Amino acid sequence: MRAVRTVDGGFQVVEVDDPTGDGVVVEVASAGICGSDLHMAGFGLSNTFGHEVAGRLVDGTEVAIRPTLACGTCDRCAAGAEQQCRAMALYGLAMDGGMADRILVDPACLVPLADGVPVGDACLVEPIAVSVHAVNVAGVQPGQRVLVVGGGTIGLTAVAAALHVGAEVDLSARHAHQVAAGERLGAGTAASGEYDVVIEAAGTESALVAAIDHARPGGTVSIPGVYWDGIAIPNVMSMFLKEVSLRPSSMYGCSGRHGPDVREVDEAAALLAAVPELSEAVITHRFALDDAPEAFRVAADRSAGAIKVVLEP
């Protein structure tokens, strides 16, 4: 079967053996390209890429895939914080991912889809879950003012997640097409004044500076953005004087907003069903699996209009 792997530091489609072993085989229908995939191109990984994945089981059931596989036995898993698992494994990193014709996953990683959700859009469940977790750890409440900094996939899905909770949401985005997508989802597009919660979804030093500056005294900055190169905090005195809380947000687990046994990936799947315009606003490009090298090139050029680029085997 076909799979996307790195060859000489670039993304290529190669032939690999079909997956075998314990687990469930999913015929992949859609796989999103994440910013982390672009960063990992030079890591020398030998596994198949792709952790934003949806597809069909052998009986035709359509599902999304939760790519995180927690051990279930460590102290953090026992505390209900499986996103902090001490032995976390990730499909698309430690194990073969879903940029392929098929993927083999643990049954616990299957995420049911609501009727009417196109499986070609359901690769968004994973990044939506990242944003759901960011909103949940920040404790966003109805009526609060929320600013999202960054207009990529995580920023836009955070807009949808915060609006769904009942917050008033503004978006601060760099590119015109990102601003237009935020408006389509119902966000204001001009940051003004102070906010109860700021979600820093860009993963840059300048975005964190802006987030701290816009947080009210005693406010919260939720950080699902990843700082690949490290950062400094030039406005640390402002953060100190306002007693702003920084809340890093890693992946997703069970937040407790809908009960301690409700997975945030299931919240994400429900949000995708409730906000059908989300996929239309976020997915800007679709490519066949054989065109993966071009898809990655497009995904890396945010200024040219790409938000979420999806591969469809």
Looking at residue 181, which CATH number applies to its domain?
A: 3.40.50.720
Which residues contact residue 185 at a Cβ distance below 8 angstroms, ignoring those fewer than 6 apart? 156, 159, 160, 163, 275, 277, 278, 281
Note the pLDDT tens digit of each residue in 95-116.
999 999 999 999 999 999 999 9
168 shares a domain with 83: no
Token code pair at residue 249: 């947000």
108 shares a domain with 48: yes
Domain tally for the chain?
A: 2
Domain boundary among 225, 248, 271: 248
46 shares a domain with 159: no
Model-level pTM?
0.95
133 part of a folded domain: no
121 shares a domain with 268: yes
Mean pLDDT of the 127-147 span: 97
116 part of a folded domain: yes
Note the pLDDT tens digit of each residue in 229-273.
788 887 888 888 899 999 999 999 886 676 667 899 999 999 999
95 part of a folded domain: yes
Q: How many helices (H) and strands (E) does the chain have?
A: 10, 16
Note the pLDDT tens digit of each residue in 199-214.
999 999 999 999 999 9
196 shares a domain with 90: no
Query: Containing domain of residue 177, as a range?
Result: 139-248
> Where do the DSSP E strands lie in the chain?
2-7, 10-15, 24-33, 52-56, 62-65, 68-69, 89-90, 102-105, 110-112, 145-149, 168-172, 195-200, 215-223, 245-248, 283-288, 308-312
Over 70: is that where the pLDDT of 87 sits? yes
Cα 313 to Cα 282: distance, rounded to the nearest angstrom: 20
Cα 157 to Cα 134: distance, rounded to the nearest angstrom: 10
202 shares a domain with 281: no
Over 80: is that where the pLDDT of 42 sits? no
CATH number at residue 289: 3.90.180.10
Report pLDDT for 153.
Answer: 97
Over 90: is that where the pLDDT of 25 sits? yes
